[in-house]
Amino acid sequence: MDNPLSQNPDSTWGRFFRNAELEKMVDQDLSRLYPEHGSYFQTPGCQGMLRRILLLWCLGHPECGYRQGMHELLAPLLYVLHVDVERLSEVRKLYEDHFIDKFDGLSFEENDVTYNFDFKKFLDSMEDEIGSHSNSKKVKSLDELDPEIQTIVLLSDAYGAEGELGIVLSEKFMEHDAYCMFDALMSGAHGAVAMADFFSPSPAAESHSSLPPIIEASAALYHLLSIVDSSLHSHLVELGVEPQYFALRWLRVLFGREFSLQDLLVIWDEIFTADNSQLHRDSEDDESSSFKILNSHRGALISAVAVSMILYLRSSLLATENATSCLQRLLNFPENINLKKIIVKAKSLQILALDSNVSSLSSTFGGAYNCSKSAVVRGHSLSSDSVSPKTPLSLVPDSYWEEKWRVLHKEEELRQNSVGKQTPSGKKRWSEKVKLSLSRTESDPSPARAENCKKGHRSSIRRSLLEDLSRQLGLEEDAEKGGCLGASNSEDDHCIEVLVEGDNCTNKESICAAEERCESGSGTVVSDENSSIFSEPASPGSGTNDHENDTEKSSVASNLFIDENDDHQQSNLEDSPLPVSLPPEDVSLNSLHENESSGKMVSAMKERRHLSGRFQWFWKFGRNNVGEETSDKGGTNEAAKSPNHDCKRQVIESVFQQDRCQVGSLDNFSKNILVGKGQVTAMTALKELRKISNLLSEIV
């Protein structure tokens, strides 16, 4: 028997109590909705409408129930409707005489079209009109009216009390419209991305991973980020910042909490104009591992917006040392932002996102490394199915990498002319094929340029060095940027070093490619070289001295300055650091030591070798100490220290500057070269450099 205290969950009383709970939750949320726009949102009319819509929808979808955040999806929709209606009535009032109430030669078909209006799209366009209000003015004829108002007036021309526009924008039906819009948004309207999924705690029925959709979507974000900016991605992963910590809020409310209402509406315009229909993947694709969210243009755009937001905060994120501060920055998105920039970037990332989802990923969502690795491979070879998704990169044949290198090189050549353009890291270069204009934040270095500076190609470098000696001393201002580049150059050198030592890779062709690249990039190389000198002195303080490395370095140095020993160069150029120098590095690093120590070694080596190389160059021109080339590194360092205090100071300053101003150049340079696995080495390199600069500061 149905009684109020019935324990039966299906009883009417049970439902009554559950509904009462629901109402309570909804009321609680609504009372706290948009207090800064309380003049509209806290009015009883608006609150009542929101309450009814939410309750009705939740009762109609008992499997979803009500979750906090749904109200924040609904509120802007209602707001837009309200504003539109208000605007229409405003215009009506001002220009009453123009609103004629009879047919104005419009054919029936046109009228019918309005009945099939897609509310969302129309309202988006209306919103653009409303976005720029015009002052009211006395007008005699329709033509004098502002074009927006003209549109409004013309659209209203029809018979019927409210006119055509009135059918779409009607005060009476605001609630109904809002409900429909909300329902479409939540259920996805037969598209791929349904917001309701993001609120459900259980995995979706047809999801391939056994994760709740929001976790999957967050993983998709990180996946995209790893393609676009792998070092930031690895930095975040290293700190232990799981994507869902911030992505949960971002995605569930479609960034409602990150932007102000007006900005949010702009972003939503972009998102909602993107088509939400399910993109059909080829059946050959591994169905078990594509991201659901990326299955439509809209989903891809949403992920792209999120990633572009992360990239917007790039410099501050890279500067954080622990997960808490990282999350703090992510969750407190700055107020005054260049929204256009974010949107433009998002649009470019959207294409990438769609492409990245074409090829499937490894099913290990936790394995960011694997994902990024395979993603890179996929990102580049969009049409190649030869490599299965789960193949670890180390099994990829060497020729594959050569090929990639060559392709890469060709791209780079094309891009050499645009000096001013800041290109992302080498890894990104591949994806840049797809992503044409990526406007990066100021923190971006020019790793492409850095990559170009293959020290292996001594001839061209030396030539350019000689030419630009005079510029060197005056390149203070370049030090900042150049420092990182220089540092990255050092990285390159060391990479070569490592590879030489490792001698497991024999990609001569890639060497040639590198040489060609160097030639073309000589101009930039010079400035890098020059400024690299400033960063050089940073390394002498490094504690770890390795004799075998010294000899190597000195030998390279001698190459650099004394002669062009092509053979030597060749060997040095062996496997010049690939932008995604994973396998060679892996191999070589493995050959040296275990990863950690090798990383340290590598970084230390890099710095020191670079230093010795640079110092020697410097001396050659400044002091003619040619004979130092083969001297022990330590000796070089000591000797080098005293005469170069000044430039050291400059270097230190510039290094510190880089550190401080969050250009993240140190991070950048490490990022440039060391991708994925190199993250370890990146961090160690970073630490080394920091140690060095600290030591130097003590000295100076």
Binding site residues, other proteins, CB under 8 A: 1, 3-7, 16-17
Nearer to other proteins, 1 or 436 (CB): 1
Q: How far is the CB of 201 from other proteins (least distance, A)?
A: 24
Residue with Cβ nearer other proteins (17 or 99):
17
The C-alpha atoms of residue 476 and residue 463 are separated, in whole angstroms, by 22
Nearest to 612 by CA among 568, 549, 657: 549
The identity of residue 34, as a single letter, is Y
Question: What region does 274 belong to: left with phi over 0, alpha with psi -120 to 50, or beta?
Answer: beta
State which residue, 7 or 116, has the beta carbon closest to other proteins: 7
Output 20 or 382, the one with its CB closest to other proteins.
Answer: 20
Reference 535, options 684, 673, 659, 683; nearest CA is: 659
In 95-146, where does DSSP find H-type helix? 108-115, 119-131
User: Smallest distance from the beta carbon of 368 to other proteins, in angstroms?
Assistant: 45
**Which value, to the nearest 10 degrees, does the dihedral of the CA atoms of residues 691, 693, 698, 700 take?**
160
| Collapsed DSSP state (helix, strand, coil) of residue 97 | helix
C-alpha 244: how far from chain center: 16
Smallest distance, Å, CB 23 to other proteins? 12
Closest of 384, 375, 308, 312 to residue 347, by C-alpha: 308
Q: What single DSSP character describes residue 319?
A: T
CB of 295 to other proteins, least distance (A): 43
Q: Which residue from 412, 406, 381, 188 is spatially nearest to 296, judged by alpha carbons?
A: 188
- Report whether 144 contacts 90 (CB < 8 A): no
Smallest distance, other proteins to C-beta of residue 224, A = 45
| CA–CA distance, 228 with 600 (Å, rounded to integer) | 26
Q: Would you say the C-alpha torsion 394, 399, 401, 402 has a positive or negative sign?
A: positive
- Write down the least CB distance from residue 13 to other proteins, Å: 9
* Token pair recorded at residue 460: 């061209």
> How many whole angstroms separate alpha carbon 695 and alpha carbon 521?
33
CB of residue 20 vs other proteins: minimum separation in angstroms?
9
User: Could you tell me if 228 and 426 are in contact, meaning their C-beta atoms sit under 8 angstroms apart?
Assistant: no
C-beta closer to other proteins: residue 18 or 406: 18
Q: Tokens 């609904």 — which residue?
A: 74
Two structure tokens written together for 605: 């080596």
The Cα–Cα gap between 503 and 269 comes to: 55
Query: Whose Cβ is closer to other proteins: residue 4's or residue 38's?
Result: 4
Q: What distance in Å separates the CA atoms of residue 168 and residue 162, rounded to the nearest whole number?
A: 9
Least Cβ distance, residue 17 to other proteins (angstroms): 6
- Residue 424: Cβ within 10 Å count: 26
Distance of closest approach, residue 4 Cβ to other proteins, in angstroms: 6
For the CB of residue 5, give the shortest distance to other proteins in the complex, in Å: 4
Of 17 and 400, CB closest to other proteins: 17
- Measured from the CB atom, the residue of 18 and 347 that comes closer to other proteins is 18
Longest dimension (CA), the chain: 104
- Of residues 3 and 399, the one with the C-beta less far from other proteins: 3
The distance of closest approach from Cβ of residue 22 to other proteins in the complex, given in angstroms and rounded to an integer, is 14
In the complex, minimum distance from the CB of residue 2 to other proteins, in angstroms, rounded to a whole number: 9
Nearer residue to other proteins within complex by CB, 4 or 60: 4
How far is the C-alpha of 73 from the C-alpha of 83, rounded, in Å? 16
Selection from 100, 81, 109, 113 nearest residue 156 by Cα: 100
Structure tokens at 223: 């996946």
Nearer to other proteins, 17 or 173 (CB): 17
CA distance readout (Å), 595 to 492, 588, 589, 603: 18, 10, 6, 12
Gyration radius of the chain over CA positions: 31
Angstrom distance (rounded) from CA 401 to CA 387 = 13
Query: Which tokens in the block code for residue 327?
Result: 């999350």
Shortest approach of other proteins to residue 7 CB, angstroms?
7
Closer of 23 and 632 to other proteins (Cβ)? 23
Select 20 or 626, whichever has its Cβ closest to other proteins: 20
